Structures are given as C-alpha cells and as structure tokens.
Structure 1
Amino acid sequence: MARHIYRCPLRWSDMDAFGHVNNVVFLRYLEEARIDFMFRLAPGDGSPSFSGGSVVARHEIDYVRPLVHRHEPVIIESWVTKISAASLTIAYEVKEEDDPATVYVRASTVVVPYNLESQRPRRISAEEKSFLEKYLDKAALAA
C-alpha cells in the first residue's frame, strides 16, 4: 500500500493564543492534503477523475499532541481505508518530517463524489477506483 505524502506549511494565522496550531486549523491541513491527493494525483493527463466535485460527509480527528507553531512544515500522510460504490474514506497522520514517530493528529474523512451540475452524489468511476486501490490499506478492511 502506498501513502500519499504532503508537506504542509504552517502559517502565523494558524496559531492560537498559546502558540499552538489551533485545533480547527487541522481541518484545513487535511483539506490541503486531500486536494493534493485526489486532484493533482488523479490518473492520466487531462483525466476528469475527481474534478466533477466531491463533498465531505464526515470528519473524525484524534488530537495526539499539541503542534507548536514554527517555520518548518509538517508531513501529512494520506491513504484509503474504504472504497464503496459512492464514497471513500481517507485516513491521515500529521507527523514531524524529521521524526515520523512524532504524530500530532490521526484523522479520517468520508468523501462522496458529487455531480455539481445535477447537485447529486454520484458513483466512483472505474478509473477513480483503480487509482484509489493503489492507496488502499487492506489491513484496515480486515479489521
């Protein structure tokens, strides 16, 4: 199973009054990693995969330790834990770049492909499924 790696910069505005990255900001970090994964890595040049729209149906976040604001980016690893006919679940870990054992956040997002023209959910295409399966954690399926 492959994991998508995204280097996420920290911004001054991400910090709370205590010098930590605010808990709500992590949703933005996950969004950036998810967009980088689903859109920039879509299979094939000019592929329409994932470009028709998607909506988030659910987020789940476990805050493991505070992330103190600094200039160095963090690493967000993303992978797929579930693919169904009309949704997928992406898991994430927000980690220290130089020490991957240091995890700040573990999270997951349920994403539903969406047809923006008809304003309705749609099924995952064969091309999208093929792409997602490269990042599928088969151990998560057995659990």
Structure 2
Amino acid sequence: MKHVYTAVMPIRWGDMDAMGHVNNTVYFQYLEQARIEWFASLGRGGKDANGQGPVIINAHMTFLKQLRYPGTIECRVYAGQLGRTSFETRMEIRRTDMPDVVWAEGGAKVVWCDYAAEKSVPVPAEIRAIIEA
C-alpha cells in the first residue's frame, strides 16, 4: 500500500473514558478525520458536482497500546488494493513524541458511490492515479 497522507491531531481530554485511556470508538473517529482530510486535500471532501463521493463499507481496528491524554497523534493513511469502484485504506496511529511506535492500526474499504442512485461508480481517475503511482 502507498502512503498518501498524514493527519496530525491532539488527543482531547474528552476522548478518554472512565478507564483513563482513549475510548476504542474514538480511534475510529481519528481514522475518519484523517481519511476526510486526505479527501479534502484532493478536492474530494464530500459530494462532488455529480453527486458522487466516498462511502465506507467496513472498518476495522487493532488496539496495540493505550493512548492517554495529553498528547498529539499522527494518523498515517495508506491506500491500495484498487478495484473498479473501490479501494482499501490502511492507517497507523502514532504519538508524535514516540513516532517509531504504532499504537493502533486499522483500515476501511472505500467504495465510490452515486449518492442519489445508491450505487457504486468507478473510482475517479485522479484518485486512481495517486494510488497507482
């Protein structure tokens, strides 16, 4: 898979749960934020003029170490396994003060979709070119 984007964001106090670590659902929010930032950096942040854009059909996460407040993380986004209408993303979450340690890793399958028709459509050429390069 090809590294396509890195998002940097703070660990917020409210990200933690009663156990004193970042709640497992928040890790998915971190990945979502990184993925949306990547799409926005490509001018694809949401529905385009044709009513098309990305949808996630599955997501997964492996929790390797417990994140705690305070801190700053980076989410490295990788893309690959390109099909006609979909591609896989993989992501790594690292603390910026410990960049050699992966705290969690996960991913999601992205399908390009015509929102009104609720049907998949081909991945846009510019995104395909980035993944294939």
Do the two structures share a fold, i.e. TM-score over 0.5? yes
Q: How many residues are paired up?
A: 128
Q: Deviations over 1:14-34 (max 9, x none)?
A: 111121000011111000000
Taking only the aligned residue pairs, the percentage that are identical comes to 26
2:102 aligned with 1:113: no
The structure that is strand-richer by fraction is 2
Q: Deviations over 1:72-123 (max 9, x none)?
A: 3201111113111011111100001122112110111101011112221111
2:79 aligned with 1:80: yes
Q: Where do 4+ consecutive residues of structure 1 move more than 4 Å?
A: none
Q: CA deviation at 1:38?
A: 1.6
The unaligned stretches of length 5 or more in structure 1 are 135-143
The unaligned stretches of length 5 or more in structure 2 are none
Counterpart in the other structure of 2:21: 20
Q: CA deviation at 1:52?
A: 2.3
Asked whether the equivalents of residues 3 and 76 of structure 2 are also in contact (C-alpha less than 8 Å), the reply is no
Q: CA deviation at 1:133?
A: 2.7
Counterpart in the other structure of 2:121: 122
Question: TM-score scaled by structure 1?
Answer: 0.80
Counterpart in the other structure of 2:59: 59
Asked whether the equivalents of residues 42 and 131 of structure 1 are also in contact (C-alpha less than 8 Å), the reply is no
Asked whether the equivalents of residues 53 and 114 of structure 1 are also in contact (C-alpha less than 8 Å), the reply is yes
Alignment RMSD, CA only? 2.0
Q: CA deviation at 1:2?
A: 3.9
Counterpart in the other structure of 1:9: 10
Question: TM-score scaled by structure 2?
Answer: 0.86
